Structure 1
């Protein structure tokens, strides 16, 4: 299985914004942290993953939600070890439709598939870069600095805050939002 890229945005773009070398260790750590945060918020890798095998439980329903989307290619589906042919898919939503009705309840469904985006959507990359810039610029350990008669305080929430751009990107790419996903 080929896993997702380590970053959801190009390190060179972030380096340009911050005026740093593209291999700056602290900058790359901030980009990695922003990427992990975005992936956690949407509950899937977003970038392309090939040949992943997932094991799901049959639902007794017509639809079976995959843990990541969009579905790029469906390689195989096995129900309790037997290959199932004729499976249809709602590719964008990452949903499989059983060819003859419902996925058997209490069955193991093994799915091998490719999923994600290549390239990563621009609005995701921009939101991740924006978050990485904030992470890079903040030192959450420092809440107040006093020099002589001047004092500067940093809000603790600034280290974990989100922008409307971030929220919109998360809402657009989030999966598994509840029982009616």
Structure 2
């Protein structure tokens, strides 16, 4: 399975009755995976050795831009290396907390973090939502709600017209970062 896909093409192939290497199947699964990542705003899958530069906020906690966090290799502030357990702690939810009464500097691009994040195995609810979305993308022509050819007529459900199912929405909500930036 390609690393950029959030579900197995073979599983989608069973639903569609086509080979797993069918170009349209792969394109639909790629698009659904991209849409999911865009909706949750992080890669979902495992990333190791990621180098991220953050803006300081003048507070004791910073939020890393992905979860779950599996390791923090190093944290530097304006080039000065901090010590885990003495200067900061981190959580799997993506929080970096300063210790000893210190705060992160209120400066742009002042904190550099080397860290690992994401799931080694894509959670099942994500896989199911992505497969469901890919099935729709495979079958539905964009912008078409009803199709008639000769004596056959097909009308696509609201999910196809709207673009997401309640299953998709639930998976996005469960895996989206809670950043408080939606106004």
1:50-129 map, 5 Å: 50-86=48-84, 87-91=88-92, 93-100=93-100, 101-106=102-107, 108-129=110-131
Aligned residue in 2 for 1:138: 140
Q: How far, CA to CA, are the matches of 2:11 and 2:159 in structure 1? A: 26
Unaligned runs of 5+ in 2: none
TM-score for both structures, normalised by structure 1: 0.88
Q: Deviations over 1:80-126 (max 9, x none)?
A: 011111221121x1111112331111151000101000101111111
Deviation (angstroms), 1:155: 6.8
TM-score for both structures, normalised by structure 2: 0.87
Deviation (angstroms), 1:145: 3.6
Q: Structure 1's 11 and 58: CA in aligned 2 closer, same or farther, altered over 3 A?
A: same
Q: Structure 1's 146 and 17: CA in aligned 2 closer, same or farther, altered over 3 A?
A: closer
Aligned length: 176
Kept after mapping to 2: 8 A contact 1:76/1:111:
yes
Unaligned runs of 5+ in 1: none
Kept after mapping to 1: 8 A contact 2:6/2:33:
yes
